[in-house]
Amino acid sequence: MFADLFDIEWASLTHAYGSAEDVPDILQGLVSDDPDEREIALDRFHGAVHHQGDIYDSTVACLPFLFDAVADATVAGRGAVAELFVSIGESTVGSPRARGDDEADWAVPYRQAETLIRTRAVEFVAWLADEDAQVRSAAVAALAHFTAQPMETLRLFMHRLALEPVVESRIAIITAAADVAVRTPEVGDQVAEWLLEVVGGDADPGTRLAALVHLARSAPERRVEDLTGRAVRLLGEISAHPGYNAPPIDDRPATPTLVGAVRVTFAPEREGRADAWTADLVRVLHDALAERVADRIALIVDQLRQPEPGRRVDALRMGSQLIGRWRGPFENLVRLIGCQLDAPEHPVRYMAALALQDTYELATPAADTLAAQVVAAGPEAWVSPDRKVQDSYRMMLLALARLGDPRAVPGIIAALDSGAETSMLVQTLGQYRDYRHKFTPRLLSRLATVQAEIDPARRNSISNMLTAARQLGAAEALPDVTRILDIAMRSENHTIIQSALHTLKSQGTAAQPSLVHVQRLTDHADAHIALPAIEIAWAITHDLEAFLCDLRPRIDGTDQRAAGLAAQCAGAAGTGAAPLAGSIRVLAGSEDLWTRVRASTALVKISASADALLPVLVAAWQENAHTRTLIAECIGSLGAQASDFLPLLRAELADPRRYTFRQGLWSNSNVPSDERLLAACVDAVERIAWPSSTESAGSS
């Protein structure tokens, strides 16, 4: 095999990391008899030759050898090689790079790859009858990408479905047909009619479920009556169906690759499971249901009540994504997720803890079950040598701590004493000021260990200590905070300086002993250091004139973003910052979005007038959803003057998607960030629509 492999000058070709001279070794690894070598080679192929879906000249040069590898029935692991054509198809077909819209040199391989594969696409048809089910599944997916005759391909799929003995490959056929319908609308009606026939036919329940969910995906205009209910019933039939077989257990240790790590990570929840493929079908169904949050909750709740642990793991994963990306009435769902924390199966317990970890206040219905598990495990579980125990415990403790639940206190203390990473845990301490006496002595002893020269390896732990002092409002720590600030100033350690300043800022006038150090930083070149220092000095001295004097050169400076931050600081002084209003008004017309928003919201606070600011804020609201919280928290103060803003606020409240999801972002702060925006919008609507009632409530 690969007789012509070394006839190519691979060193003259490239991949993601430069010269492609290592590609022959990768290709030979793909056809090795050793499964570990194949896995490593596959990882290397995806990591370099097809890095993040990119196509290089070396990728194109590999294609004939990939075809040859799949065609040789003696080659082990041919299915994984065949799947590379699917991935390459996803990168080329329909891409502007493949269509020739981009004339750049780097776009050429995309077109070359598509052309070469299309000329040999007939080989995919031959693979449909291959003995290897993975090859058959890859063949239909590749045909969906590269077919030149969609109607003929559809007839081929229909014929093949009746012959296919393996449910995973039947699902692949249905998925590919739906893909063809999505990419080629002119055959959409034929695909939809066929899928409807399959749903109502006598095929096995897995095949019918696949037809149902891919019908919903590819033909959303055809509303399927009781889609969720039918899916639930089919999932029940799948559980009782005797014709599905669990795949053989692959208990190899992980290879030093991402592919190997993923295989081992997901092995426990797939072991012995004959219907693992339902996870992908349920995911597709959730995507099709989209904003129908109530239906999606019903689907998850049903699966959480199933005896099969795999189904519950799937449901917990989808529940976590639903809560993190969409808005809805999640109380009962969260309560049921909490009930899985004591499940006998580790994958279920782990996924339940993971689902609750980043839900913050939305985890309240599960507080008692979280606390029961945290208390039962004991504080020592934070450093348990058993990673199964440690990982689940840490997630549950963090979820409980974010609720401010006192039952988390012993665990938090033990975690802080352990010396392990606690950066997210210390952020919860602001809710535990009533228990400050339990935390402060330990905190003081740790702060005292910071030496005259900050060890770079301790930078994160020192920042954590300073954050803990800020969150707890620990005035007793001020001498050490000031000392550490002085050390950081001498070494120009900006990270520690900022952490110390934020801690001092939280103390208000109590930070008086640090004033000398703070005033030395008010003219620092870094605005993220200077501005907190200016705010602290004002909080200590109450010298408004000095505060405005420190801010003016920054507001009038050439750095627009720093000027916007300075304007935002000025807004905190309200009408007292009126002398700076003229300069800030200039910033409201800045080319930088955030500068405009910060300046405009500051002017609202300074002048209590909408003036010409509403158009600026409306435009920013529509341009970037991340500006909305800042705007919403400010705009309500204008009362009826901001009535033009009501449609925007109400539209935000009516949107079922979290704004973080709409922006394509994912982080552990998605839920609280979005919930903060919702609360700000509700408050702003009340203050704008009913200004007299909110004023009366405030005065009473």
pLDDT at 328: 95
Residues 6+ away with beta carbon under 8 Å from 577: 548, 551, 570, 571, 584, 602, 606
Q: End-to-end alpha-carbon separation of the chain, Å?
A: 86
Report pLDDT digits (tens) over 509-524.
Answer: 999 999 999 999 999 9
Largest Cα separation within the chain, whole Å, is 88
According to DSSP, residue 8 is labeled S
In degrees, to the nearest 5, what angle opens at C-alpha 119 toward C-alphas 91 and 165? 75
Confidence of residue 662 (pLDDT cuts 50, 70, 90): confident
d(CA 357, CA 531): 33
Lowest-pLDDT range of 28-32, 222-226, 548-552? 222-226
Residues 6+ away with beta carbon under 8 Å from 516: none
Confidence of residue 113 (pLDDT cuts 50, 70, 90): very high
* 3-class secondary structure, 130: coil
Percent of the chain exceeding pLDDT 90 equals: 86
pLDDT at 459: 86
In degrees, to the nearest 5, what angle opens at C-alpha 509 toward C-alphas 506 and 515? 95
* Mean pLDDT computed over 107-130: 94
Predicted confidence (pLDDT) at residue 599 exceeds the cutoff of 90: yes
Lowest-pLDDT range of 99-103, 206-210, 631-635? 99-103
Per-chain mean pLDDT for the chain: 93
- The H or E element containing residue 64 is helix 57-71
Residue 110 and residue 118 in contact, taking contact as beta carbons nearer than 8 Å: no
Asked whether the CA dihedral 136, 142, 148, 151 is positive or negative, the reply is positive
Tell which residue, 187, 128, 131, has the closest CA to residue 161: 128
Partners of residue 14 on adjacent β-strands: 19
Residue 21 and residue 87 in contact, taking contact as beta carbons nearer than 8 Å: no
Lowest-pLDDT range of 4-8, 398-402, 435-439, 659-663? 659-663
pLDDT at 700: 43
* Mean pLDDT computed over 77-106: 80
The half-sphere exposure of 104 on its side-chain side, counting CA atoms within 13 A, is 7
d(CA 135, CA 73): 10
pLDDT at 663: 66
Confidence of residue 102 (pLDDT cuts 50, 70, 90): low
Confidence of residue 270 (pLDDT cuts 50, 70, 90): confident
* Mean pLDDT computed over 657-661: 90
What tokens does 465 get? 């200590």
Tell which residue, 333, 328, 390, has the closest CA to residue 356: 333
d(CA 325, CA 658): 5
* Mean pLDDT computed over 429-457: 91
Predicted confidence (pLDDT) at residue 99 exceeds the cutoff of 80: no
Predicted confidence (pLDDT) at residue 538 exceeds the cutoff of 80: yes
Residue 275 and residue 206 in contact, taking contact as beta carbons nearer than 8 Å: yes
What does the buried/exposed string (b/e) look like for 615-638 if buried means 16 or more CB atoms within 10 Å of the residue's CB? ebbbebbeeebbbbbbbbbbbbbb
Predicted confidence (pLDDT) at residue 577 exceeds the cutoff of 90: yes
Q: Strand 18-19 relative to strand 14-15: parallel, antiparallel, unpaired?
A: antiparallel
**Number of neighbours of residue 332 by Cβ within 10 angstroms:** 11
d(CA 31, CA 73): 11
d(CA 181, CA 190): 8
In degrees, to the nearest 5, what angle opens at C-alpha 146 toward C-alphas 144 and 148? 100
Radius of gyration of the chain (CA): 30
d(CA 436, CA 444): 12
Confidence of residue 2 (pLDDT cuts 50, 70, 90): confident
pLDDT at 103: 62
Confidence of residue 585 (pLDDT cuts 50, 70, 90): very high
Residue bearing tokens 């309500």: 636
d(CA 260, CA 83): 17
DSSP strand E in 537-684: where? none
d(CA 519, CA 482): 13
* 3-class secondary structure, 34: coil
Tell which residue, 517, 568, 519, 570, has the closest CA to residue 548: 570
Partners of residue 15 on adjacent β-strands: 18
* 3-class secondary structure, 326: strand
Partners of residue 233 on adjacent β-strands: none
**Rounded alpha-carbon distances, angstroms, from residue 592 to 16, 296, 301, 532:** 34, 40, 46, 22
Residue type, 402: R
Residues 6+ away with beta carbon under 8 Å from 434: none
Compute φ and ψ for 657, nearest 5 degrees.
-90, 140
More confidently predicted of 41 and 460: 41
Predicted confidence (pLDDT) at residue 269 exceeds the cutoff of 90: no
Global pTM value: 0.89
What tokens does 49 get? 């030759």
Report pLDDT digits (tens) over 376-400.
Answer: 999 999 999 999 999 999 999 999 9
Residue type, 646: L
